[in-house]
Chains A and B, each alone.
Chain A
């Protein structure tokens, strides 16, 4: 106990001297924007214009901020993809406010994503690009690819929920009896704070308690303290969710399990994953408590592609972006898989 108190004192003093926390470390240019969305192109060490590769567009989730993919110099999936020779673009959705309340999934998928894809195709004079969807962004990417396949060459999904009704899906369980219409009609946009609470409540004793007690042991040096604080910043940097899109997502995916049960429509387009016949790489984490592996693996039996592969990561939902192990394995593997199909 005395040792703990001493470390706590030293650690908190160190934290107070950390200063500003930088997020998103790789140099990039804004190449397209619309409303609160910004499309970034990341700069590789050499000139991008010389890259022969098909460009890769990353579609991140609406929940949390996409700088998780580029958190620090030594913890950056984007840096890894650039090093693997990719020409990388990323959609930053921004922070929706009340004026965005009536954005629908159709607006996000057939609107924003489609216009970003077109912007890249037009600027590079390419007919097709590669798409990498992460988590909820992966679900969006599946819906997009199923209906705009003529613009996509290869699809990579990462920790992507497909079957929302697996037995171990605690998120589905937690919204099973929630009246989503009442919730959205009442709140308008869904506060990021509510999502934070939901995610933390998946493991409340670890994530709201033990983590901070553990922290006392690791903040004795500045780097560890900075790593911890950057992750902490990301966890609680939760944008509000546009109300209508959130309503549709919960209803169509969590309640109706639309990708499995069928009958899913986004706007005036019917979504059939069997229509996807381009190469698909499905990356998932074996210890993912947010998106259970079985939820992602369900994709295998749904897509129509003859070229379907899976890549597993022995870790969790967050570790797949930021752990040292993932930095060494995941981006190079994705780069290699795409290069073979360039």
Chain B
């Protein structure tokens, strides 16, 4: 096994000797974004952001280069590298590991939240990690003081908004903690798979890209397993519900301010839209009924026309017969003719 592990170790050392790339990418990106078509920038930014993570992984690996180790103690070096990354997750001031591994899902959540109507949540991201929110009990005590006097309602509304903000930040913190645990699990999984590769005599990983793909595989596998748990479903539901409660309170307060300015409120617009939709439904229903009645009318008109034709033919035929057979005989009226014929048809049908 030592030959294989030596080979692995040397490959790794060689791989990590070509740094730094991230700063090069950033310089290049700055140049490019000055020249690029502005409509394409969002796509480029996505690509650049992921490339940034990719290069960052390379640089993280480089920093943890087991420089003084010999090829035979690769396992110790590997363990040391993963232990250092693992510890970084437990240190609140060290965002490096968290940024590297879990930037994507969490940053995308923040971006999505900010795009929602009702209340901008950008500022929540800024205050979310502040230790000022740790003494939650004090805040809650402060916020539970009832409002007094003429502005009582607005005071109560603002206090509720602050309480809901705290609730949301609490759920966000729980969610982040869950992700940190997942990150550690991903690292453990990656370490195990690297070890297993060496023990199985697999080819060494020769590029940062191979490390990156392995990291993605491990992270996805852990993510898929953990997100199917009841714990995750509850955390996710709590976070979404807390955010909605906060946004709803903010939107209600916004509506009150808009109302004070004598402008149409969201509530009023909803009422109008609700009535409008109900009216459209009724209108469509009536249109369908009118269409049905038109079809029925056309059908009846056709039947009447046919009947008139038959009456005409009958009366003409009877007149001719009467003239031929009995010039003095009384004529049958068209109505009676129809009745007689109708009775005949009914009997036939029976």
A-side contacts of B316, CB under 8 Å:
none
**Contact A8-B273, Cβ < 8 Å, known A186-B248, A187-B117:** no
- Please give, as numbers and ranges, the residues of chain A lying within 8 Å of B248 by CB-CB distance: 182, 185-186
Q: Is B36 close to A, CB under 8 A?
A: yes
Given the known inter-chain contacts A182-B248, A209-B53, A209-B104, please indicate yes or no for A5 contacting B25, CB distance below 8 A: yes
Q: How far is the CB of A17 from chain B (nearest CB, A)?
A: 9
Residue B13 is within 8 A (CB to CB) of chain A in the complex: no
Q: Are A16 and B104 in contact (CB under 8 A)?
A: no
Q: How far is the CB of B217 from chain A (nearest CB, A)?
A: 9
CA distance A203 to B221 in the complex (A): 9
User: Which residues of chain B come closer than 8 Å to A215, judged between CB atoms?
Assistant: 47
The reply to whether B244 and A182 contact each other, CB–CB distance below 8 Å, is yes
0 or 1 for each of A202-240: is its CB under 8 Å from B? (1 = yes)? 011110111111011000000000000100100000000
Question: Does B310 make an interface contact (CB < 8 A)?
Answer: no
Q: Is the CB of A216 within 8 A of B115?
A: no
Contact partner, A200, options B32, B108, B273, Cβ 8 Å:
B108
Question: A72: shortest Cβ distance to chain B, in Å?
Answer: 18
The yes or no answer to B147 lying at the interface (CB within 8 A) is no
Whether a CB of chain A sits under 8 angstroms from the CB of B143 is no
A229 to B307, CA, bound (A): 67
Q: Using Cβ atoms and an 8 Å threshold, which residues of chain B touch A209? A: 50, 53, 104, 216
- List residues of B (219-244) whose CB comes within 8 Å of A's CBs: 219-220, 223-224, 227-228, 232-234, 236-238, 240-241, 244
**A191 pairs with B43, CB closer than 8 A:** no
Q: Are B233 and A216 in contact (CB under 8 A)?
A: no
**What 0/1 pattern do residues 92 to 131 of A give for CB contact below 8 A with B?**
0000001101110001000100010000000000000000
Q: Is residue A173 within 8 Å, beta carbon to beta carbon, of the partner chain?
A: yes
User: Which of B206-214, B254-262, B327-335 interfaces with chain A?
Assistant: B206-214
Residues on the B chain within 8 Å of A99, using CB: 273, 276
Q: Which residues of chain B come closer than 8 Å to A4, judged between CB atoms? A: 51, 54, 208-209
Contact A107 B281 (CB under 8 A): yes
Residue B46 CB within 8 A of the other chain: yes
What 1/0 mask marks residues of chain B from 83 to 120 whose CB sits below 8 Å from any chain A CB? 00000000000000000000011001100100111100
Min CB gap B40→A, angstroms:
5
CB neighbours (8 Å) of B40 from chain A are 15-16, 18
B36 and A176 contact, CB distance less than 8 A: no
Interface of B (DSSP majority class): helix
User: How many of chain A's residues touch chain B, expressed as a range?
Assistant: 35 or more
A173 in complex: contacting residue of B232, B241, B274, CB < 8 Å: B232
Q: CA of A111 to CA of B287 in the docked complex: distance in angstroms?
A: 12
Residue A22 at the chain B interface, CB threshold 8 Å: no
Interface string of B29-64 (1 = CB under 8 A from A): 000100011001001101111110111001000000
Which of B21, B109, B220, B266 has a CB less than 8 Å from the CB of A1? B21
User: Which of A101, A194, A216 touches B273 (beta carbons < 8 Å)?
Assistant: A101
Residue of chain A at shortest CB distance from B229: A173
Is A183 located at the chain interface by the 8 A CB criterion? yes
Partner of B216, one of A183, A187, A210, A216: A210
Q: A201 at the A/B interface (Cβ < 8 Å)? A: yes
B277: interface (CB < 8 Å): yes
CB-based contact B233/A173 at 8 Å: yes
- Is residue A52 within 8 Å, beta carbon to beta carbon, of the partner chain? no
Asked if A179 and B223 make an inter-chain contact with CB atoms under 8 angstroms apart, the answer reads: no
> Of A13, A103, A194, which is within 8 A of B116 by CB?
A194
Contact with B along A172-184 (1 / 0, CB 8 A): 0111111100110
Residue from the list B220, B269, B270, B273 in contact with A203, Cβ < 8 A: B220
What are the residues of chain B within 8 A of A229 when measuring CB–CB? 43
| Residue pair B118, A186 in contact (C-beta under 8 Å) | yes
- Closest A residue to B209 by beta carbon equals A4
With an 8 A cutoff between CB atoms, is A2 at the interface? Answer: yes
**A193 within 8 Å of B (CB atoms):** yes
CB distance from B277 to the nearest CB of A (A): 4
Say yes or no: B233 contacts A177, CB within 8 Å.
Answer: yes
Contact of B220 among A168, A200, A205 (CB under 8 A): A205
A122 to B25, CA, bound (A): 61
- How long is the Cα–Cα vector from A9 to B47 in the complex, in angstroms? 11
Q: How far is the CA of A4 from the CA of B54 in the complex (A)?
A: 10
- In the complex, are the beta carbons of B104 and A205 less than 8 A apart? yes
Known contacts A182-B248, A204-B104: A194-B112 contact under CB 8 Å: yes
Q: Are B209 and A213 in contact (CB under 8 A)?
A: yes
Contact yes or no, A111 B284, CB < 8 A: yes
| Contacts known (A111-B284, A229-B43); A213 close to B50, Cβ less than 8 A | yes
Chain B neighbourhood of A15, CB < 8 A: 40, 43-44
CB distance from A311 to the nearest CB of B (A): 27
Asked whether B241 lies within 8 Å of A1 as measured between CB atoms, the reply is no
Task: Tell me whether B28 is interfacial, beta carbon within 8 Å.
Answer: yes
Residue numbers in A under 8 Å from B228 (CB-CB): 168, 170, 173
B11 within 8 A of A: no
- Residues in A with CB closer than 8 Å to B224 are 170, 203
Would A197 and B109 be within 8 Å (CB), given that A186-B247, A205-B216, A208-B104 are in contact?
yes
Among residues of A, the one whose C-beta sits closest to the C-beta of B213 is A210
Q: Any chain B CB within 8 A of the CB of A55?
A: no
Chain B nearest CB, measured from A228 CB (Å): 9
Q: Please name all residues of chain B whose beta carbon is closer than 8 Å to the beta carbon of A205 when the two chains form the complex.
A: 104, 215-216, 219-220, 223
B245 at the interface (CB under 8 A from A): yes
Q: Which of A154-199 contact B (CB under 8 A)?
A: 168, 170, 173-179, 182-183, 185-188, 191, 193-194, 196-197
Please determine whether A12 and B21 come into contact, CB atoms closer than 8 angstroms. Answer: no
B245 touches A201 (CB 8 A): no
Q: How far is the CB of A304 from chain B (nearest CB, A)?
A: 28
Contacts of A170 in B (CB 8 A): 224, 227-228
CB distance from A240 to the nearest CB of B (A): 10
In the bound complex, residues from chain A placing their C-beta under 8 Å from that of B220 are 203-206
B341 at the interface (CB under 8 A from A): no
B52 to chain A, nearest CB (A): 10
- Nearest chain-A residue to B217 (Cβ)? A205
Q: Which residues of A contact B28 (CB under 8 A)?
A: 5, 9
A191 pairs with B54, CB closer than 8 A: no
Complex Cα spacing A179 to B234, Å: 11
A-B pairs, top 6 by smallest CB distance, nearest first, are A177-B237, A212-B50, A102-B277, A197-B112, A186-B248, A208-B104
